[in-house]
Amino acid sequence: MQLSWQQQIVDCQQHLLINNQQWQLQHMQFYLSDFSLNQQPLSLATTSWQQPQLALLGTDCQGNSNWQLQFMQPISAGTLRFTLGLPFSINHQNPLTATAPLNNSAMFWSWQLGYKFLRLDLQGPDYGWAFHLGSTGCQSASVLRPPAMPCQHANAVEVVLDYQPGQQLQLNLERLLSDIPLLSDNSCMSDAQQQSCQMLFSNTAAPGVWQFSAAL
């Protein structure tokens, strides 16, 4: 797995030129789940970053990084599907007692809202900017209680790609942020009414944001 910007691998020390300003990655992590190949479920190896049906990828820029997906068996060519996000059945649990990698409090909002499916934090010359993707419209007695019914806006994204053995999965940060002005007042916390969020929701599923390519 790779995070790219202008066809180059991105790391936390790198400066990104966005709208003629220099920005730096502060946090980029995301949950992927429900993998299948040619409509047959795939299982992941169990590690500190994975459970059989989900994985946490990315970096918190504090020394905790994982960019490797480990499947139980080698996968062949075909149509690969996965979800950016987590199923409702596991999205609203206590991260203090959850099994890794669901015990990451930096990727959790509350029992009511659940996990941050994707957390992107950037620092510019004058202010920070963030995109945190997760479910909204979740109804429960309080933020400390999980909802009994699925949230109004699940905000999970299904990704479908053609895979050939030896290719690397890549998330294109430049395309994810395409046409998004990074302003001091338009960070996105998954508010469906906010224009920047609407654009980012669209971008997460846009062609070219998720892609397979040879190793950079």
The string of pLDDT tens digits covering residues 30-53 is 999 999 999 999 999 999 999 999
**CB-based contact 204:214 (threshold 8 Å):** no
Tell me how far apart the alpha carbons of residues 182 and 27 are, in angstroms, rounded to a whole number: 16
Does residue 215 register a pLDDT over 70?
no
Average per-residue pLDDT for the chain? 95
Tell me how far apart the alpha carbons of residues 4 and 173 are, in angstroms, rounded to a whole number: 6
| Tens digits of residue pLDDT in 175-208 | 999 999 999 999 999 999 999 999 999 999 999 9
| Tens digits of residue pLDDT in 124-172 | 999 999 999 999 999 999 888 899 999 999 999 999 999 999 899 999 9
- Compute φ and ψ for 209, nearest 5 degrees: -70, -45
